[in-house]
C-alpha cells in the first residue's frame, strides 16, 4: 500500500479510477485562468476587465454578500485574495451557470485551492461552498 492509496467502501482505487480533474483538462485550465484574472482584478481596480470574468465581476455584490453570510468569521477584506477568487468563481458557477453539477464545482474549487492556496485554503473553500449549496440551493449535506 502506498501513501497515496485511496480506499472507498473497502476497495482500493487506482488513480485512473478516481474522478479527479486532470490538470490538462481544458475546463480546469479555463477555471484556473478565470481565478487568476479574478485574483488580479482585486489589485488592478482601474484596468480593463478580461472578458472571461466580466459576468462574475458584475455579480460580485450578490456573490460577496453570500460569502460574507456563510463565512461570518472572515470579513471579505480579510479573506486571502486567492481563496476569495476561488470562492467568487465557484459561487458564480453555482448560482448563475446551472449546467455544471454542484459536486463538480466544489471539486474544482477545492482542487484549485489546493494547487494555488495555502495549506488550509481548500478546507475553507469547501466549508463555505457547502453552506452555500445547502442554504441557497437547498441540497442537504448528505445528499
Domain coordinates in residue numbering, the chain: 22-136
How many Å apart are CA 115 and CA 62, to the nearest integer? 27
The pTM (predicted TM-score) of the whole model is 0.81
Half-sphere exposure (CA, 13 Å, Cβ side) for 7? 6
Task: State pLDDT tens for residues 56-108.
Answer: 999 999 999 999 999 999 999 999 999 999 999 999 999 998 888 999 999 99
pLDDT 10s digits, 106-137: 999 999 999 999 999 999 999 999 999 999 98
CATH topology for 22-136? N-utilizing Substance Protein B Homolog; Chain A (1.10.940)
Closest Cα partner for 97 from 105, 107, 108? 105
Amino acid at each position: 500500500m502506498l501513501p497515496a492509496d485511496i480506499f472507498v467502501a473497502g476497495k482500493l482505487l487506482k488513480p485512473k479510477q478516481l474522478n479527479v480533474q486532470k490538470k490538462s483538462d481544458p475546463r480546469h485550465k479555463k477555471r484556473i485562468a478565470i481565478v487568476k484574472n479574478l485574483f488580479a482584478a482585486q489589485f488592478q481596480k482601474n484596468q480593463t476587465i478580461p472578458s472571461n470574468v466580466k459576468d462574475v465581476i458584475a455579480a460580485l455584490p450578490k456573490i460577496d454578500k453570500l460569502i460574507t453570510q456563510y463565512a461570518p468569521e472572515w470579513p471579505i477584506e480579510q479573506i486571502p485574495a486567492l481563496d476569495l477568487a476561488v470562492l467568487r468563481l465557484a459561487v458564480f458557477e453555482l448560482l448563475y451557470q446551472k449546467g455544471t453539477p454542484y459536486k463538480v464545482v466544489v471539486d474544482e474549487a477545492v482542487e484549485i485551492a489546493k494547487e494555488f492556496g495555502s495549506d488550509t485554503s481548500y478546507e475553507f473553500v469547501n466549508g463555505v461552498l457547502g453552506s452555500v449549496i445547502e442554504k441557497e440551493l437547498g441540497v442537504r449535506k448528505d445528499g
